[in-house]
Amino acid sequence: MVKGKMQKQVVTKSRSNGPICVWNVGSCSVVRTVNGVNADDIFVVDETRVVVRKRAKLALIDLEEGKLIKKMRSDFPVKSDKISRHASSLYKRRDLAIRLAESPRVEKLHQTRSKEFSDCALVGTSHVLILSKDRLYMKLASLETGELVGRLKAGQKAIIQTVMVSGDGSVAVCSCEKHPLIVWDLKQRTERLTLEMKGNYPQLTTADISYDGRFLVDILKLDRTHKTVATWDLRIGEVKHIIGQGRNVWSVAVASQSMRMLVAGSSGVAETVRVYNLATGKLVTQLDGHTEPVKGISLSRDGKRALTFVPLGHKDRTIRLWDILEGTMIAAFTPDLAVSSCVMSDDGEQVAMVINKSRPIVSLVLTHEVGSREMSVDVSNPYYRNPSHHGAVFDLSGALSGDESDSDVDL
């Protein structure tokens, strides 16, 4: 489940080959259904457009009208015949890189609890970042033209393991095995700097980047038993704080606007979410109450509110909304069944979630009533833009298929 840009709808994609659905957050009803895409990933661009990835194909789709806007190129055209003259050695090297990338050893390294990057990511509302098939470099594709407009390659031969992009699309960071982490300026399309600490290279296995791309939080294992939280200032490439956290860290979140960092982990037998001041690195408060690993954390755009939950929790099914500046819980909601996915609006006023083994979403909104700490269902939001299309079902079967020339992509 991903948020819509209008904060009045969310978009869901079935894990199987099911439809893409647009849900009205207020009425918890489906207002658009798109069949036949069978997308592996979806990325919300604005209130009506999404980028979908199906295997090695990318497309821009209008969910409101249920139509394909354009297919997007995901490979660079060959500029000369030098490639064909050296095709044998080129494909041997490329096939070797692909086999290494698909080997169990590297696949284990790709398992990450940071923000998911499955071969492509949205860059603001104007571009898509695409990882090459051999995972040696990245490419930028324009949403306006559908064409590739840039290539980001630092020159190292190491396979890229994980890539994270800031929310505003200004900064990307990528980790490579046994190589320093590379920070990219996506607006200038240039390498900004590299990061490493005492011979340890950030791997982004449990990490978060601030919306404006100013701060990066990563969990490092400096010895065999203890984990350390490292905060980087990406403007100058220096470590800002190093904080010991013990054995288990489940998730992290960072916001530069409120200068707060959240670290969820276990403290002995208890589960807790610690809140740190980014300016000083000091512990501000602890958010207690969860009894299972808190692997779901999201922040409001201003970084003043946090949503915490336990995905598919067995005993702890409660969703909690916090004021992290005051260190107090604003509201809580406990459904009858476990929550599989949950998102919060940018203003921190609304929550939408998917209950396990239940198709309809559940929508919650703060009531702001004095003495009330429970969230209630919001029924006030209008339909998704055009009321005449409310509940429309579209079929885009075959929209992402192409001829043989289109299938030679390099993801």
* pLDDT single digits (tens) 105-141: 333 333 344 444 557 889 999 999 998 888 888 999 9
Is the pLDDT at 3 greater than 50? The verdict is yes
- Distance between CA atoms of residues 165 and 209, nearest Å: 7
Burial (CB < 10 A; 0-12, 13-18, 19+), residue 15, is exposed
Name the token pair of 248.
């288990």
CATH of 1-72+379-398, one of 2.40.10, 2.40.30, 1.10.287, 3.40.50: 2.40.10
Give the rounded percent of residues in the chain with a pLDDT score beyond 70. 78
Which tops the pLDDT comparison, 83 or 30?
30
The token pair that represents 318 in the structure block: 């409660």
3-state DSSP percent of the chain in helix, strand and coil, to 5: 10, 45, 45
Is the pLDDT at 86 greater than 50? The verdict is no
- Of residues 237 and 269, more confidently modeled: 237
pLDDT of residue 257: 94
When pLDDT is averaged across residues 58-78 and rounded to a whole number, the result is 84
Q: Between vectors from CA 411 to CA 180 and to CA 81, what angle results, nearest 5°?
A: 100
pLDDT at 131: 87
- How high does pLDDT run on average in the chain? 80
Give the model's pLDDT for residue 103: 35
Q: pLDDT: is 356 or 403 the higher one?
A: 356
Which residues are paired to 307 by β-bridges?
A: 298, 321
Per-residue confidence (pLDDT) for residue 120, from 0 to 100 = 84
Residue 145 has pLDDT above 90, yes or no: yes
Please give the pLDDT value at position 172. Answer: 94
> Can you give the residue ranges of every domain in the chain?
1-72+379-398, 94-202
Q: Band of the pLDDT at 177, cuts 50, 70, 90?
A: confident
Please give the structure tokens belonging to residue 79. 């500029």
Model pLDDT, residue 178: 81
The number of C-alpha atoms within 13 Å of 237 and in the hemisphere containing its C-beta is 13
pLDDT at 385: 64
Range 352-365 average pLDDT? 83
pLDDT digits (tens, 9 = 90+) for 207-260: 999 999 999 999 887 677 678 889 999 999 999 998 876 668 899 999 999 999
Q: Which is more confident, 153 or 106?
A: 153
pLDDT score recorded for residue 304: 95
> According to the model, what pLDDT value does residue 384 have?
66
pLDDT at position 79: 45
Residue 249 has what pLDDT?
87
The pTM (predicted TM-score) of the whole model is 0.80
| Overall average pLDDT of the 351-357 stretch | 85
- State the average pLDDT over residues 53-76: 87
Which pLDDT belongs to residue 29? 85
- pLDDT band at 400; cut points 50, 70, 90: confident
* pLDDT tens-digit map of 96-111: 333 333 333 333 333 3
The whole-angstrom separation of Cα 364 and Cα 72 is 36
What fold does the segment set 94-202 form as a domain?
Methylamine Dehydrogenase; Chain H (2.130.10)
Query: So what's the pLDDT on residue 98?
Result: 35
**What is the Cα gyration radius of the chain?**
22
